A = this chain, B = another copy of it.
Amino acid sequence: MKLYAYGIDVGGTTVKCGLFGTDGTFYEGWEIPTVKDNGGAQIIPDIAAAIRSNMKERAIEIENVEGVGIGVPGPVREDGVVNGCVNLGWGVYDVRTELSGLLDGIRVEVANDANVAALGEMWRGGGQGYKNVVMVTLGTGVGGGIIINGKILHGAHGAGGEIGHITVNRNESKPCGCGKKGCLEQYASATGIARRAAEAMAAPGAPVSSLYNYDVVDARAVFDAAKTGDELALSVVQFACRTLGRACASITSVVDPDVIVIGGGVSRAGQILVDAIVKYYVQNAFTATRETPFKLAVLGNNAGMYGAVKMILD
């Protein structure tokens, strides 16, 4: 194996780039802006240029680069073709071929960003020591990634691990971003938690709550208030975690992972979140999977970069 590899995580605002040794050493990370003009046509050339420039700086020859792993915020098929990325302006786009072509034909692996983050957490984060991992990413939406035998489960349509769109409430009247109604994402995302809090605060007979003192009642405010014992905030947390715990019970009946890793911005709430999810998980899980451990993600925004390069190191 050659000496170096790059891990790239494409976000809606910035692209995180990392230089790694193929022994797993992390040498350097940096960011470039995500230029979304012209249907995102510049993004991949910009990444190629950033890599070239880093190689020049460090006097790394292309012959010494094993490859580039890249995570993108959209569905990706196993062959490296992106099946549309609304956030970036991409339609169906063969990222693997394009990026490889710009870098003298070196090996490129492409995957969905949530899947890549799951791989990163397996390698160096909350899922370390395991090879079958379900990662649940609680951010603006609810994403997920599934690792089976150390490899990303891409899915036939690049939708492997799209657990945010499991239907959990058949009586929901408001549509999810995906067009369906009652998706997990509508209740367990940061957005869903804030919405639930606003509803609870507006409800007649709502209890006294410190949440009324916040300028913005977001998921973070809800967890902060819950940690002080605020009754209303606690009920919102319990609601989100009940929904999550039940959904995780369905997921483990299907894939029976070694571990479930909880990540994304909402996971900064910490152990209070995990404890509440586990409480409802245990009540709903199939016997054999009842003791599946839950761990907090540890790599934060670097998980994607780590997971991306791991695709090359395998």
A179: CB under 8 A from chain B?
yes
The answer to whether A132 and B156 touch across the interface, beta carbons within 8 angstroms, is yes
| A160 on interface, CB distance cutoff 8 Å | yes
Chain B residue at minimal CB-CB distance from A160:
B256
- Select which of B162, B246, B249 is within 8 A of A286 by beta carbon: B162
Does A288 sit at the interface, judged by CB under 8 A? yes
Say which one of A48-56, A163-171, A219-227 lies at the interface with B: A163-171
For the complex, what is the distance from the CA of A180 to the CA of B249, rounded to whole Å? Answer: 12
Closest-by-CB residue of B relative to A74 is B288
State which residues 148-168 of A face B: CB under 8 Å.
148-149, 151, 153-163, 165-167
How many copies of this kind of chain does the complex include?
Answer: 2
Cβ distance A22 to chain B, nearest Cβ, rounded Å: 24
Contact B250 A159 (CB under 8 A): no
Number of interface residues of A (CB under 8 A): 42
Chain B neighbourhood of A252, CB < 8 A: 159
Check: A210 CB closer than 8 A to any chain B CB: no
Inter-subunit contact B254/A287 (CB<8 Å)? no
- Residue of B83, B151, B178, B253 near A163 (CB, 8 A) is B253
Check: A264 CB closer than 8 A to any chain B CB.
no
